[in-house]
A and B are shown apart, each in its own frame.
Chain A
């Protein structure tokens, strides 16, 4: 095992994606029957890759840049296989007009899908061009090498390069899957710390984000709504008064869908404010409040299923039984940029620019709600701020499309307000869990009964049948039917992600209670159920260790038979003993948490050092240590960057974040009612990577969230002697515990 210690101070950074490279065996020995999934679905080489006249290689993947660096990662793969420098590669955004259809950019699977396809397509393009060059140079292809796109023979440059041998239709052919890809030990670009290709444009404020698009004749739109998509609207006065407001072009109303379009953006904002004052909304009240949501979840109608079972829970030899329950509140993606979209109707054609994670699935849903056939709709991805899952992007695209259908001819730029975003986005579902464990004479857990109650983590508007999931779909005079919520099965799991313990308990039973209707809109948020389930399991382990006066790491290790899980714990222990915490004012404490994400991904162990103010209940997060095993480390800085971001975001979820509730529903509508950790409050982070060169590379983006939550709760318990089992760990809970 080699470890590389890097402090946040001076961490060089870099590409976020290579840790998820699936250097799967099938791609290494390719045959036509074994084309990677994305390539098999989009076989024409020129769908993926084009050579432009000016010495540029243009890539066209079906995965979107979400700030995670995917374009850079894919460019590295292409550069590697083609033997060209990174500087020659440009990457196009995803556009249903020409891109391969790779559905959603989610679940840390972009490299698995797009990367594998591009790797094979690029290898094949290289082989085709080498053959053309060999013909012209009158030699054998095997004699030819490539240096930055130029053909060489015995190390000497030839006058030919890729661009001089290619003809117009050279790449208009199907991938055969018969060309071998490069051996891993010859990699020079993949695995290197290439700088992200999207960062300079962002540092110089060039046209990057959807918000930066300014189309000729573009109008500005705002929606007027509450957070409840089923609220019915009645207007107190005639809309004409708003029509007289400066710049207003149109007020769009369809049932309870209400929007205003104006020449200038601030005019749309003003008119929306005037309209809001005329609105009366009627809707059902919430059947729960912040303190009763867990109880409500347990009673609500649910689909109940045992998702994992080993041995027979309830066996003999139990010395004591322990039952504990853990929960978390509804939480928000809370993207920094409120959702926006541009829609342009020209006759019976509609073009929509969106920061959706999947423009192809979006297209079908937009076509359905706009009453167009799918071929008449084109959806194009444009960047926004990080989304961390299914946020308001698709809903805003739907809003813009509905408005554009009624205001043909001019592009409609729809931007949500901050309140629209907080109230309208689908949240990460509130969840509650219960653990009932049996412990033997030896202090060993032998029985493990785990129940998890949760709303869905999967309600994306996918295709025509998914259109009923748009926020606006329920508002229309003729509302669309809402399809049943998604239920992701094991081994990935939705609400039950990571509910199956990674510990070798003799007997376990895991039961999932999916509550299809949790009254608030919910969907995929980073790590899905793993955040809460790992928090629960790792809090419980800590409680039992503490009750038995055992070292928390030793206690975990004696329940583990997975050597890599033991490895991250041992590495974390070394980090902890090496870490100079100095003398901190009491009450301070260190807690740990560990999990293997999805039970099949990266191993991650986190220690958090906290100081708690007993009077205010404020938790100060000092310092996080983290040991990660993502298998083969393709890009150390990339992994570190993802883990740092994951720990910091999860720290904020853990100590601060919850959607405030009142009888009307969600009440968080801005950064005051939904505060997140600031620069002065986030912990310092120090990450150690465990290199496993013989293992497959694994994703790191969602590995740290659950362990971070548990580490913080366990540290608070150490510091104060108080155990808090409900997230977030608010000052009030700390004071009352």
Chain B
């Protein structure tokens, strides 16, 4: 079936099998690396993207249900030339080991910061409850998100 949605600010239109999960469409049809396959069961958070600003598990979301909506992936947050504060903070604090969890965590954090621009450490931890990190980089990750929140607020202050 043919669907279209807004991906990182651009309209995309493509023909995919009706029951395809959004994750496969993003990774394979649209060749985006950021959403990762971790479980396919909505258990690990590696595949997190934003749909209409909400963090969702793209591994279980039918692509068809994204039709007409705004989909944002990590690629849409920032780039090497213009990094998002979360990306800059993850690099600055070296908040990863293997980095496989990073994309999903950054997307969950981006959704959190939209709702709560200055979350406490505890609020960050509970917002990330559905994102697993197997390498034990949790402490640095939480610090990086706090740091990004501070940077973002500084930037927005007139």
* B33 lies within 8 A of A212 (CB): yes
Given A211-B36, A266-B19, A680-B126, the answer on whether A644 and B100 have CB atoms closer than 8 Å is no
Do A13 and B75 contact each other (CB < 8 Å), given the known contacts A264-B24, A385-B101, A671-B41?
no
Complex partner residue of B80 from A198, A200, A338, A417, CB under 8 angstroms: A200
Docked complex Cα distance between A644 and B143 (Å): 14
Shortest Cβ distance from B100 into chain A, in angstroms?
3
**Given contact pairs A337-B37, A679-B125, A679-B138, A266 touches B17 in the complex (Cβ within 8 A):** yes
Among B50-58, B64-72, B87-95, the one that faces the other chain is B87-95
Decide: B93 and A13 in contact? CB cutoff 8 A. yes
Choice from B83, B102, B133, B138 contacting A202 with Cβ under 8 Å: B102
- Decide: A67 near B138, CB < 8 A? Known: A9-B143, A203-B91, A264-B28: no
B46 to chain A, nearest CB (A): 6
* Residue B131 is within 8 A (CB to CB) of chain A in the complex: yes
Please tell me if B74 contacts chain A, counting CB pairs below 8 Å.
yes
B137 at the interface (CB under 8 A from A): yes
Separation of A188 and B96 alpha carbons in the complex (Å) = 25
Note all chain A residues with C-beta closer than 8 A to B27.
211, 265
Flag if A682 contacts B99 (CB, 8 Å).
Answer: no
Contacting residue for B134 out of A418, A637, A649, A680, CB 8 A: A649
| A23 is an interface residue with CB less than 8 A from chain B | no
A9 to B33, CA, bound (A): 30
Range of interface residues on chain A? 35 or more
B113 at the interface (CB under 8 A from A): no
Most B Cβ at <10 Å: residue of A203, A384, A670, A685? A203
What's the nearest-Cβ distance from chain B to residue A147, in Å? 27
- The chain A residue sitting closest to B105, CB to CB, is A679
**A203 touches which of B24, B38, B73, B87 (Cβ 8 Å):** B87
B142 close to A (CB within 8 Å): yes
A16 / chain B contacts, CB cutoff of 8 Å? 97
Contacting B at CB under 8 A, from A158-211, are 195-196, 198-200, 202-209, 211
> Which interface class (under 10, 10 to 19, 20 to 34, 35 or more) fits B?
35 or more
Determine whether A647 belongs to the interface, using a CB cutoff of 8 Å to chain B: yes
Q: A667 interface residue, CB < 8 Å from B?
A: no
Complex interface residues of chain A between 231 and 253 (CB less than 8 A to chain B): 246
Closest residue to A200 on the B side, CB-wise?
Answer: B91
Docked pose: A647 CA to B98 CA in angstroms: 17
What is the CA–CA distance of A91 and B125 in the complex, to the nearest angstrom? 35
Q: Contact check: which of A211, A649, A679, A685 meets B128 at CB < 8 Å?
A: A679
Chain A positions 1-16 with a Cβ under 8 Å from a chain B Cβ: 8-14, 16
- Min CB gap B127→A, angstroms: 8
Q: Are B43 and A670 in contact (CB under 8 A)?
A: yes
Taking a contact as CB atoms under 8 Å apart, the answer to whether A205 and B20 are in contact is no
Our pick among B21, B31, B73 for the contact of A214 (Cβ within 8 Å) is B31
A417 CB contact (under 8 Å) in B40, B102, B132: B40
8 A-B pairs (CB sep. < 8 Å): A13-B140, A67-B98, A199-B91, A203-B91, A203-B99, A205-B103, A337-B37, A670-B39
List residues of chain A with CB under 8 Å of any chain B CB: 8-14, 16, 66-69, 195-196, 198-200, 202-209, 211-212, 214, 246, 264-267, 269-270, 334-338, 383-386, 388, 415, 417-418, 637, 641, 644-649, 670-672, 676, 678-680, 682, 684-685
